[in-house]
Amino acid sequence: MKAALIILAIFAVIFVLPVTCSGSREIHASSLNTAYRSARMVKNYIRDDAKRLEFQMAFGTLQQIKTDEGGPEAFLDAVDGKDADEIIALAREEVNARITQGDERYAQYQNWENMVEQLTKNTPKVLGSEREQRAFE
């Protein structure tokens, strides 16, 4: 009986612990829904409102650019396994490349930083940033 309880406890730890401790800070993009869910979780780990907003813009911009290039799969491949800083860096590269190429969607911007500044100048804070702090944070 003791052996069965020990084995059951081991299986519980093996199967339940990864699920309860999976607060990953990277995007899991096996589908659009999981990518959106992961992006929300990643965004919640970012403490700085300006960086959180920049991440949201980067994620949305990458979705638009990559989906236009190669469909949803291209977007999912581009963001899968990346953290917030990598998403922002990739969006910065893509937007700056499009500005250099003369893409008319980005013609009014000088670079990524200028785009973020112009699009967020009237945004005092990110919605949801006033959430209460959790004990473990």
**Per-residue pLDDT tens for 19-42?**
444 456 889 988 999 999 999 999
* Higher pLDDT, residue 57 or 20: 57
pLDDT tier for residue 134 given thresholds of 50, 70 and 90:
low
Q: What is the pLDDT of residues 117-127, one digit of tens each?
A: 888 887 765 45
Tell me the per-residue pLDDT of 83-112, one tens digit each, with 9 for 90 and over: 999 999 999 999 999 999 888 888 899 999
CA–CA distance, 21 with 136 (Å, rounded to integer): 13
Name the β-bridge partners of 83. Answer: 26
Please report, rounded to a whole number, the percentage of residues in the chain having pLDDT higher than 90.
Answer: 45
Give which of 55, 111, 49 is closest to 87, Cα–Cα: 55
Helical (H) or strand (E) element with 37: helix 32-45
